[in-house]
């Protein structure tokens, strides 16, 4: 019995959020003319760009911003919540200009602001945040950063400095006293006893790195009062950690924060008008409906926020606060995808053609393996398979002891590989299917650096949806692990028996095979490392309408010289050294030296990714 040919949609309906569709076997963007991503890639590559490619889709930024505001505003209406809904984007999630330009443009109509956590981010916010949209500043601050806050205020920004400790508040108050400049708004990060969850859940909880305890909070209010600045205290802030998997910790945090807000109002903080819920809205990365990573909807979050805060405010008889959110991952993740060409398949040599049995003198166990291979069928599959695995163990031992030669060993490897494949093909009921798939997995060498483009996979084991851009009308049959092109054994996405990845058995001589990694727009770009000196990939912004698509803002990946310059090499010296060595080489004839140098300089102007691994 053969398996039914069901094509694989790679869990698109789980993680895809209706952003992509599969049409005629190709991944298409689900908007306007539904262009195929492969067409964009082909067009960009036809202009000579090689290596991995990061595509930004601005309409997906728009979609997420719209979703955020409309969902919360819908809940406000439903619960007759009188506070406003406002939001800022935390710059740490993606500060790249290719993204921020889109974000600012799309956020305009909502008054969407920015959150900064460092001086450099604050400068970005001061330069690009649209007038009247809020800026919030979190993270530890020194005098200089605080003074930037005062300057921002004078520039007309609606800026809130969120203090992480009492020392910061002292500095702010002293600075104001000394200069007499107008105060920026003061926010206070509160330390909740509620902790977040998951691999990112360290931001909340009583031992978290950030926030003031209740005792410190009361001290802060006293300090503000004493210096006549209590009216600048406008916001309390918390953040329970990124990629919230479950809504329960947020609900607990809301109850806690809502009561703290009400208590502070009662202590006379009359201008305290906002609660900033931080970020943490989760993104569904799972390709398998049975192991989803997010168990709530945005509407559920918005409803809970309105309901809980409203009831606390009613109980304690205080005004309903404005609600701020700082979600970053939710806004940025979906807009970017990374496309990387497959360069090579490493296990293709395990085919029948490669088998090189001896005319005579094959070890008996090898002959036996050959018989098993020829006669394995649906009924005997399990038994024959186990026999062959047994034989392989014995044959490998015989090789170690010097009784069989390399040719015998090679035949053993090929035959066992073929037997497993045939067993999987003929016997659907085999209980150990995925373990077997793991044994015969194909290693796909993919032209990208995991450290540069998917650092959270390396650092946290965060998985990203991956699928080929075409051939989706055919069932992928090869169990796959992915190797990146760094020289680091960590640069591998292994085959997992619980969540197996299958790809197509392709011949790269017949054409390219591209893999796309989705949801890479949050954190990955700036956390990306230049391990082995691979740099940020070539990127392009693609706008789509009913007629087709437009590629704009194409930014090539850095050249070899730029990469060296970036880590502080004197690149003219690098070039001088190369030239000197070519000129004194005895192996290069004098009349060839110019050509060799020209060739070398050409390479220096190209990026560090591979073009192809074979000389065709």
Ligand X SMILES: *Cc1c(COP(=O)(O)O)cnc(C)c1O
Judged by DSSP in three states, 134 sits in strand
**What span, in angstroms and rounded, lies between the C-alpha atoms of 341 and 511?**
11
What are the residues facing 29 on neighbouring strands? 20
Q: Does 113 bind ligand X (CB under 6 A)?
A: no
Give 326 or 442: the residue with its C-beta nearer to ligand X: 326
Q: Which of residues 82-101 bind ligand X (CB under 6 A)?
A: 90, 92-93
The nearest distance, CB 530 to ligand X, in angstroms, is 23
149, 280, 455, 468: residue in contact with ligand X (rule CB under 6 A): 280
Give 190 or 467: the residue with its C-beta nearer to ligand X: 190
The nearest distance, CB 329 to ligand X, in angstroms, is 4
**What span, in angstroms and rounded, lies between the C-alpha atoms of 135 and 157?**
7
Q: Does 335 bind ligand X (CB under 6 A)?
A: no
Q: Does 294 bind ligand X (CB under 6 A)?
A: no
Both structure tokens of 264 = 């502070």
Give 277 or 506: the residue with its C-beta nearer to ligand X: 277
Determine the interface stretch with ligand X among 191-199, 238-246, 296-304, 576-584 (rule: CB under 6 A): 238-246
Q: Does 245 bind ligand X (CB under 6 A)?
A: no
Q: What is the DSSP secondary-structure string of 397-412?
A: HHHHTTSS-HHHHHHH
> Binding string, 539-568, against ligand X, x = CB under 6 A?
------------------------------
Q: Does 212 bind ligand X (CB under 6 A)?
A: no
Closest-CA residue to 187 (of 115, 103, 118, 119) = 115
Give 138 or 449: the residue with its C-beta nearer to ligand X: 138
Q: Does 64 bind ligand X (CB under 6 A)?
A: no
Give 242 or 557: the residue with its C-beta nearer to ligand X: 242
Q: Does 536 bind ligand X (CB under 6 A)?
A: no
Q: Does 257 bind ligand X (CB under 6 A)?
A: no
**What span, in angstroms and rounded, lies between the C-alpha atoms of 237 and 256?**
12
Where residue 523 falls (left for φ over 0; alpha for ψ -120 to 50; beta otherwise) is: left
CA distance readout (Å), 36 to 16, 25, 117, 342, 457: 15, 10, 38, 18, 27
Judged by DSSP in three states, 558 sits in coil
| Count of residues that bind ligand X according to CB under 6 A | 16
Give 245 or 484: the residue with its C-beta nearer to ligand X: 245
Determine the interface stretch with ligand X among 272-280, 379-387, 402-410, 566-574 (rule: CB under 6 A): 272-280
Burial of 237 (0-12, 13-18, 19+ CB in 10 A): buried
Closest-CA residue to 123 (of 170, 157, 74) = 157
Q: Does 521 bind ligand X (CB under 6 A)?
A: no
The nearest distance, CB 270 to ligand X, in angstroms, is 25
Determine the interface stretch with ligand X among 277-285, 304-312, 411-419, 595-603 (rule: CB under 6 A): 277-285
Give 92 or 106: the residue with its C-beta nearer to ligand X: 92
326, 408, 456, 484: residue in contact with ligand X (rule CB under 6 A): 326
**What span, in angstroms and rounded, lies between the C-alpha atoms of 315 and 323?**
18
**What span, in angstroms and rounded, lies between the C-alpha atoms of 335 and 331?**
8
Closest-CA residue to 517 (of 463, 445, 570, 559) = 463
The nearest distance, CB 297 to ligand X, in angstroms, is 16
> Binding string, 145-184, against ligand X, x = CB under 6 A?
----------------------------------------
Q: What is the DSSP secondary-structure string of 22-75?
A: EETTEEEESSTT--BHHHHHHHHHHTT--S-EEEE-HHHHHHHHHHHHHHHHHH
Give me the residues that bind ligand X (CB under 6 A), please: 90, 92-93, 138, 239, 242-243, 278-281, 326-330
């Amino acid at each position: 019995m053969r398996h039914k040919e069901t094509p694989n949609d790679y869990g698109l309906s789980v993680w895809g959020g209706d952003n992509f569709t599969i049409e005629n076997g190709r991944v298409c963007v689900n908007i306007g003319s539904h262009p195929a991503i492969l067409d964009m890639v082909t067009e960009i590559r036809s202009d000579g760009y090689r290596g991995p490619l990061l595509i930004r889709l601005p309409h997906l930024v728009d979609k997420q911003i719209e979703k955020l505001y409309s969902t919360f505003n819908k809940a406000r209406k439903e619960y007759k919540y009188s506070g406003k809904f406002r939001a800022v984007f935390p710059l740490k999630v993606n500060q790249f200009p290719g993204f921020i330009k889109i974000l600012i443009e799309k956020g305009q109509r909502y008054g969407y602001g920015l959150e900064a956590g460092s001086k450099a981010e604050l400068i970005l916010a001061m330069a690009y945040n649209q007038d009247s949209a809020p800026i919030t500043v979190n993270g530890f601050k020194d005098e200089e950063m605080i003074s930037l806050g005062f300057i921002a205020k004078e520039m007309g920004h609606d800026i809130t400095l969120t203090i992480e400790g009492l020392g910061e508040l002292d500095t702010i108050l002293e600075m104001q006293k000394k200069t007499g400049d107008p105060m920026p708004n003061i926010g206070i990060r509160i330390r909740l006893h509620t902790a977040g969850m998951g691999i990112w859940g360290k931001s909340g909880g009583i031992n978290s790195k950030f926030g003031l305890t209740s005792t410190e909070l009361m001290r802060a209010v006293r300090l503000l009062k004493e210096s006549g600045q209590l009216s600048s205290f406008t916001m309390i802030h918390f953040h329970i950690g990124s990629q919230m998997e479950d809504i329960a910790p947020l609900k607990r945090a809301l109850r806690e924060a809502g009561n703290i807000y009400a208590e502070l109002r009662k202590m006379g903080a009359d201008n305290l008008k906002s609660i900033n819920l931080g970020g943490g809205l989760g993104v569904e990365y799972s390709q398998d409906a049975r192991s989803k990573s997010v168990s709530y909807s945005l509407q559920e979050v918005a409803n809970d926020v309105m309901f809980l805060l409203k009831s606390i405010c009613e109980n304690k008889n205080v005004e309903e606060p404005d609600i701020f959110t700082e979600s970053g991952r939710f806004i940025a993740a979906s807009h970017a995808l990374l496309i990387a060409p497959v360069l090579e398949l490493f296990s293709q040599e395990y085919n029948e053609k490669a088998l090189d049995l001896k005319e005579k003198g094959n070890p008996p166990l090898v002959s036996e393996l050959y018989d098993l291979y020829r006669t394995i069928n649906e009924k005997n599959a399990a038994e024959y398979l186990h026999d062959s695995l047994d034989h392989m163990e014995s044959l490998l031992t015989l090789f170690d002891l010097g009784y069989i030669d390399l040719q015998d060993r090679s035949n053993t490897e090929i035959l066992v590989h073929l037997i497993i494949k045939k067993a999987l093909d003929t016997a659907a009921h085999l209980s150990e299917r995925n373990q077997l798939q793991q044994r015969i997995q194909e290693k796909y060498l993919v032209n990208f650096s995991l450290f540069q483009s998917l650092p959270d996979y390396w650092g946290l084991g965060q998985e990203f949806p991956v699928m080929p851009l075409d051939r989706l009308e055919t069932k992928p049959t090869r169990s796959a692990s992915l190797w990146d092109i760094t020289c680091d054994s960590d640069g591998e996405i292994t085959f997992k028996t619980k969540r197996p990845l299958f790809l197509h058995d392709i011949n790269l001589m017949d054409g390219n095979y591209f893999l796309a990694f989705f949801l890479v727009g949050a954190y990955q770009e700036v956390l990306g490392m230049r391990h082995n000196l691979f740099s940020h990939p070539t990127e392009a912004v693609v706008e789509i309408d009913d007629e087709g698509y437009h590629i704009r803002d194409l930014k090539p990946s850095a050249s070899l010289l730029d990469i060296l310059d970036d880590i502080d090499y004197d690149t003219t010296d690098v070039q001088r050294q190369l030239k000197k060595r070519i000129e004194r080489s005895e192996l290069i004839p004098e009349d060839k030296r110019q050509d060799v140098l020209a060739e070398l300089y050409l390479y220096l102007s190209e990026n560090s990714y591979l073009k192809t691994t074979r000389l065709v």
